[in-house]
A = this chain, B = another copy of it.
Amino acid sequence: MISTGSKITIVGLGLLGGSYAKGLHDAGYTVYGIDIDPKAIDYAIAMNWIKDGSEDPSLCEGSDIIISALYPRTFISWVKDNQKYFKPGSILTDVTGIKRETVKELAEILRPDVEYIACHPMAGREQKGIRFSDPELFRKANFIIVPTEKNTERAIQTAEDLAEILHFRKVSKLSPEEHDEVIGFVSQLCHVIAVALMNVGDNPRLVDYTGDSFRDLTRIADINEDLWPELFICNKDYLVAEIDKLVDKLKDYQEWIDTENVEEMKKAMIEAAGRRRLFGRSSK
């Protein structure tokens, strides 16, 4: 288990970075925070989640573990600019929602005496910012570790420890390619659907006519428009293919409806319902 004497620095005190800070603090670790927004730092200090915080990246000096909670491309450029402060032998990890790009870029630029272990905590909420941080988010969330053949057991264990300390429900390991493919489907495609649905409907009185189904399908349409275009573009090959597959299936249903082909619809619905039951009744 990660030693409680470790210095852990979180870079980016937003929703996820703040939730990590509180979760690690609650578990007895000493946490430091770096953010360009002094208000986020003041908040984390006031909440006692971090021992110290700064806009100055040199605060990460001497850290045993650095956790980036930045957007993917900001993460890469931040490392480029500030790895001079990293401690030899330290471990770098992250929370970004795409992995081929971060793994590839960091393999090229990261100092050889620092090890990057890619992680994706599959937690979030509609709101952004540290004021909505809450490590309780993690208890029902999956955690994906994305090791490469270059990763040591020590780094992988550190990632597993983090998931355990933060009480994630389930830890899985995927390759960068597997990760990005599966995320293109279960997360990114769902976000595309949700925003597309809201873009289609322009009746402000819709709220009076909706049931739970529409609310559920569009919850994530209250989206962070700074983050998601970047995530989509970093994964565009898989995501473009997933949209094609969904459109094909929607067209199947459209044809079955138009030709009143009840049998095909029933068959497909029985398949869909059976698969969905594996996930349990509710999302809550």
Whether the Cβ atoms of A186 and B200 lie closer than 8 Å is no
**CB–CB A182/B207 < 8 A:** no
Shortest beta-carbon distance, A264 to chain B, in Å? 9
CB nearest to A275 among chain B residues: B198
**Chain B contacts of A197 at CB under 8 A?**
189-190, 193, 246, 249, 272
The A interface, classified by DSSP as helix, strand, loop or mixed, is: helix
Q: Is A144 on the interface with B (CB-CB < 8 A)?
A: yes
What string of 1s and 0s marks CB contacts (under 8 Å) between A201-225 and chain B?
1111111111111111111111101
One of A45-53, A79-87, A103-111, A254-262 contacting the partner: A254-262
> Contacts of A211 on B, CB cut-off 8 Å?
122-124, 141-142, 186-187
User: Do the beta carbons of B214 and A217 come within 8 Å of each other?
Assistant: no
Q: Which residue of B lies closest to A179 (CB)?
A: B209
Query: Which chain B residue lies CB-closest to A273?
Result: B222
Binary contact track A7-39/B, C-beta < 8 Å → 1, others 0: 000000000000000000000000000000000
Complex Cα–Cα for A142 and B249 (A): 30
Contact B172 A208, beta carbon cutoff 8 Å: yes
Q: Is the CB of B249 within 8 A of A247?
A: no
Residues A196 and B269 in contact, CB atoms below 8 Å apart:
no
Check A222–B172 contact: CB distance below 8 A.
no
Residue of B nearest to A205 (CB): B172
Q: A250-B247, A254-B240 are in contact. Are A262 and B229 (CB under 8 A)?
A: yes
Q: Are B271 and A199 in contact (CB under 8 A)?
A: yes
Residues of B within 8 A of A142 (CB): 208-211
Given contacts A229-B262, A232-B265, A250-B243, contact A206 B219 (CB under 8 A): no
Which of B141, B210, B258, B270 is close to A236, meaning CB atoms less than 8 Å apart?
B258
Instruction: Answer yes or no: A170 CB below 8 A from chain B CBs.
Output: yes
Chain B residues lying within 8 Å of A270, measured Cβ to Cβ, are 225
Assess the B272–A207 pair: CB atoms within 8 A: no
Give 25 CB contacts A-B under 8 Å: A122-B211, A141-B212, A142-B208, A172-B205, A182-B203, A186-B209, A186-B210, A189-B197, A190-B216, A191-B213, A193-B193, A196-B249, A197-B249, A198-B273, A199-B271, A201-B275, A213-B219, A216-B283, A219-B282, A222-B281, A223-B272, A226-B266, A243-B250, A243-B253, A243-B257
